[in-house]
Amino acid sequence: MITGGTKGIGRAVALALGEVGYDLILTYGGDVEAAVDVERELRRLSSGCDVRVLRADVADAGSVDLLHDYLVGNDMYVDAVVFNAGLTCRAPFESMQREEWERVFAGNVHFPVFLLQRIVGRIREGGSVTFTGSLMGIRPHSVSLAYGVSKSSVHALVGNLVKFLAPYGIRVNGVVPGFVETQWHEGKPQEIRRSIEGKIALGRFCAPEEVAGVYRMLIENSYVNGEIIVVDGGYSYK
């Protein structure tokens, strides 16, 4: 199960897993066209993977019940959950509204915790949970306070969940992307983009496929547990 699995990083992870035969449940927030598109592409794969695509807004607490009920109603168990969908709020610090702050935390932190609480019994022993964090949760920036702080919480969740999930035989890890070429950066002014590229040792944004392989490794390796893997092209070295 991949939240936010219809575009960008989530879509690339879905394709990387679908190609090798994983059955997939992908969730999305509201862009039906992108959902139909990834479903079509996955059904075309020769691996013959099964694909279900569900609309489930991570900012809406009701989505926890929706996804839980879907698994139970279809008597489904999963091997891996990827908590990938993330929210931000770019309002200036001075005018940021409490509701916007709460929405970001609801989607990035509360939703995964309470979905996991409901479906932990539906994740098979030997399975895994993988979170999508963000470099902004490690290196504070000036665009979104709510995003940076909530992603730091996502990183903290990884370590803190290890002992809670160990009795179920479930591992938990996180991927921390730097700057990945997705719709997330749509409309970013060229000068800001160039300034970011100037700070990355590799001098460019990451392709979604490059980061997708890390998720697959974390899902398939049976001994990596409680780790955060930073995939930032060497941002820290420049």
Q: With binding defined as CB under 6 A, does residue 18 bind ligand NAP?
A: no
Residue 46, Ramachandran bin (φ over 0: left; ψ between -120 and 50: alpha; else beta): alpha
Chain centroid offset of residue 78 CA: 16
- State yes or no: residue 103 binds ligand NAP (CB under 6 A): no
Among positions 18, 24, 57, 155, the unique one binding ligand NAP when judged by CB under 6 A: 57
Q: Decide if residue 29 touches ligand NAP (CB under 6 A).
A: yes
Paired strand residues for 53: 26
Q: Does 231 bind ligand NAP (CB under 6 A)?
A: no
Residue 223 CB, nearest distance to ligand NAP (Å)? 25
Q: Which is nearer to ligand NAP, 145 or 168 (CB)?
A: 145
CA dist., res. 225 & res. 170, Å (int): 9
Residue 98, Cα to own-chain centre: how many angstroms?
Answer: 24
Of 84-92, 160-168, 191-199, 217-225, the segment contacting ligand NAP by CB under 6 A is 84-92
28 contacts ligand NAP (rule: CB under 6 A):
yes
Q: How far is the CB of 151 from ligand NAP (least distance, A)?
A: 7
Q: Is 177 in the site for ligand NAP (CB under 6 A)?
A: yes
3-state secondary structure of 128: strand
Asked if 210 contacts 167 with a C-beta cutoff of 8 angstroms, the reply is no
Picking from 16, 8, 19, the residue whose alpha carbon sits closest to that of residue 213 is: 16
> Of 132, 144, 150, 173, which one interacts with ligand NAP (CB under 6 A)?
132
CA dist 120 and 114 (Å) reads: 10
CA 123 to CA 136: how far, in whole Å?
A: 29
Amino acid identity, position 100: E
- For 69, residues 6+ apart whose C-beta sits below 8 A from its C-beta are none
Query: Closest separation between CB of residue 168 and ligand NAP, Å?
Result: 24
Which residue, 61 or 166, is less far from ligand NAP as judged by CB?
61
69 binds ligand NAP, rule: CB under 6 A: no
Assess 30 for contact with ligand NAP (CB under 6 A).
yes
CA nearest neighbour of 13 among 47, 44, 45, 22: 22
Which range of residues in 79-87, 165-173, 191-199, 216-224 is near ligand NAP by CB under 6 A? 79-87
| Amino acid in the structure at residue 111 | F
Stretch that binds ligand NAP, among 4-12, 71-79, 114-122, 161-169 (CB under 6 A): 4-12
Report the interface residues with ligand NAP, using CB under 6 A.
Answer: 3-10, 27-31, 34, 57-59, 84-87, 107, 132, 134, 177, 179-180, 182-184
